Every structure is written in structure tokens, then in C-alpha cells.
Amino acid sequence: MTTRTRPGTARTALVFTLITGAALTLTACAGGDPATAPAGASGAPGAAKGALPTEDVVSAVKKNEAAAKLLPADVRQRGSFTIASSVATPPSSAYLPDGKTVVGVDADFAAAVAKALGLELKREVVGFEAILPALGSGKYDVGTGNFGVTEERRKAIDFVTYINDGQGFASRADSPLKAVTDLTQLCGLKVAVNAGTTFERTLEQNKGRCAEAGRKPYEVNVYSETGAIWMSLQQGRSDVVMNTINGVRYAVTQQKNVKFLNEYRRLDVGFAFKKGTPLAPAFQAAVNGLKADGTYDRILRKWGVTGSGIATSQISPPEIPAPKK
């Protein structure tokens, strides 16, 4: 049975207390863009406080004239693009203590690309599940939320890749699990994931493996807020968390009594666009320009995710194959 939890205001505040109490902090981003957070954002998962690195890795980016020439005429004329951003887990994305300023890997890359293209970035914070449908309707030009490139998503969405992340597992420190290399290792356990993610899809698509092995199925606990998955783990309502590799690696260093298990699979991650967007070539050229001028590596080093670097940005590459187990 799948549990779907939609935390209300009180639960959100509790999630914030748990995360910040565990010192789940992240870096200030001098090149990041302030955004108007949803009501109660100061208590949202991903809100940050504490000693934060403050390296400015974006403001020195110069306009990439060759990339800018690839922009559609109407975008060049208006001089801006709209971006829908999901704010979830550092180092990918989070709020500063003001509850409004969005920072992280996604924010730095978006800000750097905007400068390279000579455009103003207009951000709106949007729930993860709502971003891809909103792109399809034309409400926003671009979406960020650590979106992994999958064959299913490629049917309706175009991507411009900028990092490689993927799926990882964590558990409480007293768990007998040391790694999850085969999903049947989860049989009989409760796994916490975010709604609408590749984690949820992977687990739901493979539930039958437990029955085939003659074992009790695992239970997928689905939450709309990232902080809630960690709360469920700490409180014993879930046995395992499945989330982004970088997010899990970071979170276990900031919380007590949890441990990183392993990387399960890698996925390319990209800016998301409506299918057939004319913006993709310009964004791809801008990302590759950032690699050439050193900005790309500076962003990765700032956030401690150098292992997520890619050789070159691609437009909607094929999904990296999943493990067979």
C-alpha cells in the first residue's frame, strides 16, 4: 500500500525544526536570485541557517555572444525568461534563513546561464509535481528541480543537461543494510520518497520483484516535502530513504543516527523545457561555455559535487540504463 502524506502548516514547521536542528545547512550563493517563497517558507524543508560558504561563482560570468545569438527573437526582445524552481534539498536547492532567497547548484547554474545569455532570470518557486505540467502548458519557459532525464519524461519534455546525479539510499545508523544493490533487499521494509519523482516510479515499477522472490512487498511512503521523508526515517515510520545521490550524501553528514548506503543508479540532470522548445540550443551553448571558462567547475566545487560533472551538455540524451537488479 502506498502512503501519501500532504503535510500541513504544523507538520511543515515540525519538519523545519527537525532539519535545522540537525544542522542541515547550505551555502549562500552570491549569484543566486531572491524569489518569493510560498507562505510559511521559513519553515519549509530546505530552509537553511548556520555558517555558510559565500563564494561568488556567478557575478563574473560574461555574456556569451555566440550562445545568445541562438535565442529566439522574441526572447531576445523581452530580455528575460521565466523559471519554475522546486526547492527541496541541499546541495541542489534550498532557502537561505530569510525564507525567500533560493540557493544551490540549480540556482547557480540558472543564474550563470542567464548572465551568459544576457537575460534577466524571473523565478517562481513551484511544487516539484507541478513544474513539468506547467512547462507543457507554456506557463514557464524553464524548470529546475534536479530533474533526471528519463525516457518517459522525454516524451513530453526537452532537457538541457548540466550535471549527473541520480538515485541513492540512506537508512538509520542501526539498520543491518549496508547497501541496496538489488531492490529485493527492500522487501518487507518501508521506503520514503518524494512524490512525482524517479524514486517513486522506480519502486512502483519493481514492486513485483518481492512476490517473485516469495517475500513480503516493500511499502512506498510518498511525501510531498523532502524534509518529511527524513522525519519519517528518524521517527521510525520509514526504514529507508531513497533520494538524490548528492542530497542523501549531504543530508547524512548533517543529521545524527543516519547513514549513506550507496548509489543505486546515475541519471543525467537538466533544465526542463516544453517539448520542441527553441530555447534548448542557446541553453546548451551557454552551459558548454561555462565549462570552457571555468565557471562550471567552480560551481561544482562550491557545492562539493565534483563527482557530478559531465563532459558536455546535451539536449535530451537517452536515459542512462537502470541496474537490472
Give me the pLDDT at residue 53, please.
Answer: 57
Give me the pLDDT at residue 9, please.
Answer: 31
Give me the pLDDT at residue 82, please.
Answer: 96
Q: Is the dihedral of CA 132, 146, 103, 49 positive or negative?
A: positive
pTM: 0.82
Residue type, 115: K
pLDDT in tens, 288-315: 999 999 999 999 999 999 999 999 999 9
> Distance between CA 2 and CA 217 in Å, rounded?
11
Give Cα 300 distance to the centre of its chain: 14
Calculate ∠ Cα 183-184-189, nearest 5°: 90
Distances (CA, A) of 188 to 88, 128, 191, 248: 28, 28, 10, 22
Q: Which three cell numbers stand for residue 18?
A: 527537525
> Distance between CA 25 and CA 92 in Å, rounded?
12
Residues of the chain with confidence (pLDDT) below 70 = 1-54, 325
Question: Could you tell me if 233 and 241 are in contact, meaning their C-beta atoms sit under 8 angstroms apart?
Answer: yes
Distances (CA, A) of 217 to 107, 178, 184, 189: 38, 20, 9, 8
Q: Which three cell numbers stand for residue 204?
A: 512502483
Calculate ∠ Cα 195-42-234, nearest 5°: 55
Of 97, 93, 148, 153, whose CA–CA distance to 125 is shortest? 93
Give me the pLDDT at residue 54, please.
Answer: 65
